[in-house]
Structure 1
């Protein structure tokens, strides 16, 4: 993987572990020669990921909608900053520019990005690894809900392994690097569905 799209919150929680984690993720990716593609913001975990990567000499590509650029939250220190018209264009750019997706703790926007990456993989719009860093048990309930969707039959068995989750960054990156694409819905026959 040459570049990974990192999804995370634009907020800075009171618990400083989250911002420190984001900075460490950015620095770790840079140390491994992996570029960061992210939301282009300078605030919260987003800004910390970018700062960690830039301080470690890494490539950082930000993608931000015009409205957020005008609100003066864009990080103009990025290696490249792409200003796009809409959130849909932003998410398409994440997919186009990256070789995989890594989700850190975040809120509603982060969930939107994560589930779109999973959904697009299920369908066959991409065949890239979708990683979830379950730091501090932040995503325990989300992972339990994902298992429930699988067990209930709303997620096909062929797609049960799309979401790669680990509490440890090194293990998660290793699993993402070893990712083998599944059979997407677009390649299935009606009888398989």
Structure 2
């Protein structure tokens, strides 16, 4: 009986150590998020004003509204192709990896579409050697560029590209968030009644 208890204790201790090692290795892997917003600069003054709004997109299901013959508004869910709605943004990133004998660079480009709040977001999978939160100097950079918009009312590019970013880092969780400056579109004609001269 005592040998069974010792075996069970050793077995469960081994499982606990294995789980602790797994969670410890996950902490060492960086969690990197790159994000930004796209808005419509209604008054074409190169800033977010009280008349501006975020340019939303849709992932899988969107609400659509219509007016029937009686003048009643009704909402329905419709499925859309992700490329038909929202703003498409190209994200280019370069990360410097820390290797024992060499300096390595990891570069990639991806396209993302804004969500229903006008936010585009990229979750970067764990990259071996990248310690984003532990680096004191900014060695990683990202850039966002407007590609297209589904909005017909606000389709002239304003702020088309940005590489300016705010980096938020957490050493404890080895997590980095790169928040890029806002990108914008504007209408083809300025509404002087709404925005003034």
Give the alignment's TM-score, normalised by structure 2: 0.21
| Higher RCO (CA < 8 A, seq sep 6+) | 2
Higher helix share: 1
Give the alignment's TM-score, normalised by structure 1: 0.21
Mark the structure with the bigger radius of gyration. Answer: 2
Higher strand share: 2
